[in-house]
């Protein structure tokens, strides 16, 4: 380990298709290339992050591997779920694979709760305790990685439901990927409102690490204007200097089951994620010595 403690970062934006998975996967690989030990946790039932690595989910399941669904449904520690890549990333990158069954986790936990109440004749107060325990399962599962890896990156589904809440409860920081379009900016107030509630009620440690712009056209005036808007909204220090340019390489890489570094290692698309990885390390190291208090200034 290179950091003094394990740092957990959740990628958050309820807007679909705004670069969450691309950022999680590429940042995980970028940090691993800088010799940090990294675990990526795929909590999205779409499993795009898992697929991006070329992992065959069906084969993993047949071979008896656990998935992130087992963290929620069977209290399985993430350390028992992760898979490693013997010939890739210098063995410093691990992935906890997603599962389509993650989409039914909230309903299954609700039935578990109802059964417990019916069986034990428990009161409302106990129902609250059970809900609290269920929301904390991902966090508890991640505790198995403390002191073992530098970074835990959590990819999340495009909504603000149960899974997203569990990711925010588990995290020290959240990062917001955005594509520069008016539609992508609209939901940000709601997202910050949700993160603020989680911070106040469930996870006082949670902080915004930064907003990262992706799919940027460096020639478009609009994209530069949106960066300024984000800086005004969140503060200059909360928008990453590094923006990820629009490149077909980012769309190609997951199709071939490779990260951007394996697919286009010496092109700008990969370099930008190295730069972003360095910025993430700098911010985290600065916070570790001087913690800030607010989720964000909005």
- Closest by Cα among 157, 152, 185, 186 to 171: 152
Q: What residues line the site for Mg ion (CB under 5 A)?
A: 20-21, 48
Minimum distance from CB of 189 to ligand ATP (Å)? 18
Minimum distance from CB of 77 to ligand ATP (Å)? 25
Binder among 21, 67, 92, 277 for ligand ATP (CB under 6 A): 21
Write each residue from 222 to 241 as x if it is in contact with ligand ATP (CB under 6 A), else as -, in one continuous string.
Answer: --------------------
Residue 67 binds ligand ATP (CB under 6 A): no
Among Mg ion, ligand ATP, none, the one that 247 touches (CB under a kind-dependent 5 to 8 A) is: ligand ATP
Minimum distance from CB of 236 to ligand ATP (Å)? 23
Terminal Cα-to-Cα distance of the chain (whole angstroms): 35
Comparison of 55 and 134: residue with beta carbon closer to ligand ATP = 55
Q: How many angstroms from the chain centroid is the CA of residue 7?
A: 12
Comparison of 16 and 291: residue with beta carbon closer to ligand ATP = 16
C-alpha distances out from residue 249 to 11, 85, 259, Å: 21, 22, 10
Minimum distance from CB of 119 to ligand ATP (Å)? 37
Minimum distance from CB of 155 to Mg ion (Å)? 6
Helix 124-135 / helix 105-120 crossing angle, nearest 10 deg = 150
Residue 48 binds ligand ATP (CB under 6 A): yes
Binder among 67, 134, 199, 215 for ligand ATP (CB under 6 A): 215
Q: How many angstroms from the chain centroid is the CA of residue 91?
A: 20
Minimum distance from CB of 42 to Mg ion (Å)? 9
Binder among 1, 2, 5, 17 for ligand ATP (CB under 6 A): 17
Element (H, E) at 160: none
Residue 16 binds ligand ATP (CB under 6 A): yes
Residue 187 binds ligand ATP (CB under 6 A): no
Angle made by CA atoms 272, 284, 32, in degrees to the nearest 5: 50
Q: How many angstroms from the chain centroid is the CA of residue 65?
A: 21
Write each residue from 244 to 263 as x if it is in contact with ligand ATP (CB under 6 A), else as -, in one continuous string.
Answer: x-xx--xx------------
Minimum distance from CB of 160 to Mg ion (Å)? 14
Distance CA 102, CA 47 (A): 9
Minimum distance from CB of 259 to ligand ATP (Å)? 12
Angle made by CA atoms 255, 257, 262, in degrees to the nearest 5: 110
Residue 292: half-sphere exposure toward Cβ, Cα within 13 Å: 18
Helix ranges restricted to H, 136-267: 137-142, 162-170, 182-186, 188-201, 221-234, 248-255, 260-264
Looking at the DSSP bridge assignments, the partners of residue 182 are none
Helix (H, G, I), strand (E, B) or coil at 256: coil
Binder among 36, 41, 44, 172 for ligand ATP (CB under 6 A): 44
Binder among 101, 158, 187, 265 for ligand ATP (CB under 6 A): 158
Binding stretches for ligand ATP (CB under 6 A): 16-22, 44, 46, 48, 158, 214-215, 244, 246-247, 250-251
């Amino acid at each position: 380990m290179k950091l003094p403690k394990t740092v957990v970062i959740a990628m958050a934006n309820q807007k679909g298709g705004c670069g969450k998975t691309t950022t999680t996967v590429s940042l995980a690989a970028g940090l691993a290339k800088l010799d940090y030990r990294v675990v990526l946790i795929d909590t999205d039932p779409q499993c795009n992050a898992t697929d991006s690595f070329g992992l065959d989910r069906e084969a993993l399941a047949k071979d008896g591997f656990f998935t992130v669904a087992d963290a929620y449904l069977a209290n399985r520690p993430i350390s028992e779920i992760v898979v490693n890549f013997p010939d890739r990333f210098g063995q410093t990158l691990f992935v906890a694979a997603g599962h389509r069954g993650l989409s039914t986790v909230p309903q299954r936990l609700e039935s578990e709760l109802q059964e417990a109440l019916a069986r034990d004749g428990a009161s409302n107060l106990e129902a609250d305790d059970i809900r609290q325990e269920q929301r904390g399962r991902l966090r508890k599962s991640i505790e198995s990685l403390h002191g073992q890896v530098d970074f835990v990156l959590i990819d999340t589904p495009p909504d603000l439901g149960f899974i997203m809440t569990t990711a925010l409860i588990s995290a020290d920081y959240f990062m917001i990927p955005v594509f520069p379009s008016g539609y992508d900016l609209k939901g940000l107030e709601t997202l910050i409102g949700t993160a603020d509630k989680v911070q106040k009620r469930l996870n006082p440690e949670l902080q915004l690490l930064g907003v990262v712009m992706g799919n940027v056209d460096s020639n478009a005036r609009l994209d530069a204007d949106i960066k300024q808007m984000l800086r005004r909204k969140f503060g200059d220090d909360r928008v990453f200097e590094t923006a990820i340019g629009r490149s077909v390489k980012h769309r190609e890489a997951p199709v071939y089951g490779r990260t951007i570094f394996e697919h286009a290692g010496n092109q700008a698309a990969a370099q930008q994620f190295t730069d972003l990885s360095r910025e993430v390390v700098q911010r985290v190291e600065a916070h570790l010595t001087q913690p800030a208090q607010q989720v964000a200034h909005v």
